[in-house]
Amino acid sequence: MRFTAKSKSSSEGWGMGFYLIFFPDDDEREGIDHHISTSKRKLPNLFSSSSSGGHLILSKAQSTIFICALLVFLSLLLFTLSTFEPSPSRRFSPRRHLSSTAPFPFKPSNQTPSHALQGMGALHRRGTAAMNDLVLAHLSESVSPQEFRLFLRLFHRSPLAATSDLLLLFPSQSHSSDFEAVIREENLSFFKLIGSNSTANFGLSRKKGKEWAEPIWGRRIKTNYSEGREAESIRVSYGSVVSFLVGELDPENSLSGFLDHVPMSLRRWACYPMLLGRVRKNFKHVMLVDVKEVLLLGDPLGRVRARSPETVVVVSSAPPAKHAKRNPARTQPRAGDNPASSAVVMGGARGVRRLSSAMLVEIVRAATQQRRKNSVTESTLFSQLVGNEFVLRNVNVVKSGESLADASSLTWWSSDPASSLSLSKPAVARRGNSNNITSTIATLICKLELDSSVYSDCQRKGKNT
């Protein structure tokens, strides 16, 4: 302890201090020594308890690491088993299935189809390879299961099944659920047909080798085509079958703010820009088809494959007017003479996408100008759009002078009882106003020997008769 004393005059700057040192008594010193010795004895216990706790933490960490390693190993094992490919002797052989009635790798089932593209749509059948052409068919609310079945059956029998993918556009989930059974049955019948010896009649075998790129639909499948050039050249080729809901492609129902009721014939144009924009790099040619109005009998896309990507071919909805013959020098009929049909639109993917975007704008413009919101009709707007060269200045519109032939007026026959049904001339036909055309064509198909043994409805008719 220190005491410091200073003078009264601080200016002198001197002082004197005392330092006092106090020593504890003997009893207090003994207590301090006892406390120090006790602390030294407790230190080993503290260190020993810390050591045991460290061992416990270390053992827990080792257990955790072992469990994580086990989970990683099991995950790798499951992934390896899921991607395991069978031996070459059991792998799908294209040559074998060309002349065999055994089922193909894809089997229609009662399970819910997987997504078709980016978490949307449904994959009903995955094709063997990527296709250059896309048939986009929409179903209105009034399409019956019998009409839909006939459309699918004729499509599967046409050359389009080997060169294009089929995309179905449904108005609602309920319609899609009602028609899923029809799609499964027709897919199964299709596989039975191409598994027969008459696959050449369907145009499903290709003679030249090609780079077999995977389809864009569904989950990618790891494949290994090591069968050689010879097997690849005769491999069976067919497209995919997928479906989408208008609610997936147009979730906000963009036309509902302009129309009180948006029918499928108008809303489909709001779905095309988004869908065709997503697949613009995958398809070269696109055809828009109305399932209610049109039957596909041949390969109508053959007339646009040699044209530019901006070309769009439209047909007339009615035969040419009589006064059109008075002027033979005019090669292109006026838009008012032959209204364009919106039931069939085909051309390059770029041109069809631009046309669909322009049609959507025309629907909105017409709806805002009309006093009554429900007075907008698709047929009138489409004919006006096709005749407007300024609006479609970036689209090469080719107006075909021919109109869709009525299916009831065509001549049907089969050159070979074992072959598919043949048609006299056109590749596309209109169902017409006859209510019996569906049953008539179905009856003709069932008369063929091969087809009667494949289609279930033909077998039921045979039993009833």
Taking the C-alpha atoms of residue 437 and residue 408, their distance in angstroms, rounded to an integer, is 6
Taking the C-alpha atoms of residue 164 and residue 237, their distance in angstroms, rounded to an integer, is 10
pLDDT of residue 259: 87
Q: What would the pLDDT profile of 383-425 be if each residue is shown by its tens digit? A: 999 999 999 999 999 988 778 888 877 766 554 444 455 555 6
**What would the two tokens of residue 461 be?**
């008719």
Q: What is the mean pLDDT of the chain?
A: 75
**What would the two tokens of residue 361 be?**
């704008």
Taking the C-alpha atoms of residue 407 and residue 425, their distance in angstroms, rounded to an integer, is 11
Within 10 Å of residue 324's Cβ, how many Cβ atoms?
15
**Of residues 114, 119, 243, the one with CA closest to residue 169:** 243
Q: What would the pLDDT profile of 330-343 be if each residue is shown by its tens digit? A: 434 444 457 899 99
Read off the pTM.
0.71
Are 269 and 359 in contact, with CB atoms under 8 Å apart?
yes
What is the mean pLDDT of the segment spanning 457-462? 72
Taking the C-alpha atoms of residue 320 and residue 79, their distance in angstroms, rounded to an integer, is 63
Taking the C-alpha atoms of residue 235 and residue 223, their distance in angstroms, rounded to an integer, is 14
Considering the chain, what percentage of its residues have pLDDT values greater than 70? 64
Confidence of residue 77 (pLDDT cuts 50, 70, 90): confident
Lowest mean pLDDT of 273-282, 304-313, 327-336, name the range.
Answer: 327-336
In 334-379, DSSP assigns E strands to 340-348
CA distances from 419 to 429, 450, 459 (A): 21, 7, 18
Question: Domains in the chain, ordered, with CATH?
Answer: 94-319+334-407 (3.90.550.10)
Lowest mean pLDDT of 44-48, 50-54, 227-231, name the range.
Answer: 227-231
**Of residues 131, 135, 209, the one with CA closest to residue 169:** 135
Taking the C-alpha atoms of residue 62 and residue 40, their distance in angstroms, rounded to an integer, is 34
The identity of residue 318, as a single letter, is A
